[in-house]
Amino acid sequence: MVNHHDRLNRTFWALVDPTRRAMLAQLERKDGASISELAEPFAIKLPAVMKHLDVLDDAGLVTRSKSGRTVTVRLRPEPMREAMEWLRRYEHFWSGSLDKLAAYAQSKDTDAQRRGR
Amino acid sequence: MTSLTLVRRIKARPQVVFDAVTTAEGIAQWWGPDAGPVLLSESEPRVGGRYRVRFRMLDTTEHESSGEFLEIVRPERVVLSWRWKGGLEDPDESRIEITLKAVPEGTELTLTHSRLHNEETRRSHEGGWTGSLDKLEAHFARSASA
């Protein structure tokens, strides 16, 4: 099994680049695009596009399928979901902890004021 | 840079909240996401002092995090470093900043947990994390409503 953290690293690394994010956004709007369609909005050469696609592919964020001479690229959102869940765990941790902190501080302050300080 | 910010209004004075946040006795009362117990709580609330907290969750898993007090201004601001013990899930060191503001009903607490996924942040020259997270959120919001 690929280490969970390695997988997250690849996802976050893939998402940190604005061109790659724009590519994903493009694929989100359109189910399946050819490589030339994907390259069109960017002022970069084809080899650079292929390199970005390799990073996205490596992170499992896209799939490539070949039919004749055309390669179709599709979005695969599962790794993003995993990345979101990872962040949500921290949110869950803090949200639960702060609820308890609020209750504790409130009772502590009420006690202190009752004791007249 | 990946970060998470939460804001809470608490019906207690800032100095009471501050002590609850920074002292070992206080931390033992609230640390952890569910009703599971805190098993160990150590804290030296001064700049350069360390804290260590171990808690058990209701699913019986135990977790420990520790770090250092980087800044401490009673009763308004505390900055801590944070690292999970074992570090399998997230081996990098992150940063927690808590600010307390007096408001009529008590205290407004703002917590920011940042530098999550440090390594990527360091490796990236472009940064731009917030934007990508917003996009992720938007993506899933749309998926959920679709």
ipTM value: 0.79
Tell me the C-alpha to C-alpha distance, in Å, between residue B5 and each of A91, A94, B139.
Answer: 9, 9, 20
- Whether the CA torsion B9, B13, B19, B22 is positive or negative: it is positive
**Who has greater pLDDT, A102 or A112?**
A102
The CATH number of the domain holding residue B19 is 3.30.530.20
- Write out chain A residues lying below 8 Å of B4, CB-based: 87, 90-91, 94
A84 in a domain, yes or no? no
pLDDT score for A12? 83
Q: For residue B100, what is the enclosing H or E element?
A: strand B94-103
B6 vs A95: CB contact, 8 Å cut-off? yes
Say how far apart CA B38 and CA B53 lie, in whole Å.
7
**Predicted local confidence at residue B122, as pLDDT:** 42
Q: Min CA distance, A68 vs chain B (Å)?
A: 32
Mean pLDDT of B70-85: 94
Q: How many domains does chain B have?
A: 1
B128, A16 Cβ separation under 8 angstroms: yes
Cβ atoms of B135 and B39 within 8 Å: the answer is: no
Neighbours of A27 (CB within 10 A): 21
pLDDT in tens, B90-117: 667 889 999 999 999 999 999 998 877 6
Span between the terminal Cα atoms of chain B, in Å: 29
Strands (E), chain A: 33-34, 62-67, 70-75
Q: Is residue A64 part of a domain?
A: yes
Would you mind telling me the total number of residues written for chain A in this entry? Answer: 117
Q: Is position A71 within any domain?
A: yes
Would you say residue A33 lies in a domain? yes
Which pLDDT score, from 0 to 100, does residue B75 have? 97
Q: Which of B64-73, B78-87, B117-126 has the highest mean pLDDT?
A: B64-73
Task: List the single residue in B16, B132, B139 with the smallest CB-CB distance to A16.
Answer: B132
Position A88 in a domain: no
Count of residues for chain B? 146
Q: Do A109 and B4 touch (CB under 8 A)?
A: no
Is residue B80 less than 8 Å (CB to CB) from chain A? no
**Residue A100 within a domain:** no
Q: Please tell me the predicted confidence (pLDDT) of residue A2.
A: 57
Q: What is the pLDDT of residues A53-91, one digit of tens each?
A: 999 999 999 999 998 989 999 999 888 888 888 778 888
Q: First vs last Cα of chain A: how many Å apart?
A: 59
Task: State which residues form the domain around B87.
Answer: 2-145
Q: Can you give the pLDDT at residue A77?
A: 86
Position A41 pLDDT exceeds 50:
yes
CB-based contact B19:B26 (threshold 8 Å): yes
Task: Say whether residue A97 is in contact with chain B using an 8 A CB cutoff.
Answer: yes
CATH number of the domain bearing residue A69: 1.10.10.10
At residue B120, the pLDDT reads 46
Position A20 in a domain: yes
Domain that holds residue A35: 4-76
Per-residue pLDDT, B138: 54
Distance of alpha carbon A38 from the chain centroid: 20
Overall domain count for chain A: 1
- Cα(A94)–Cα(B82) distance, integer angstroms: 13
Residue B123, classified by CB atoms within 10 Å of its CB into exposed (0-12), middle (13-18) or buried (19+), is exposed
Specify if A107 maps to a domain: no
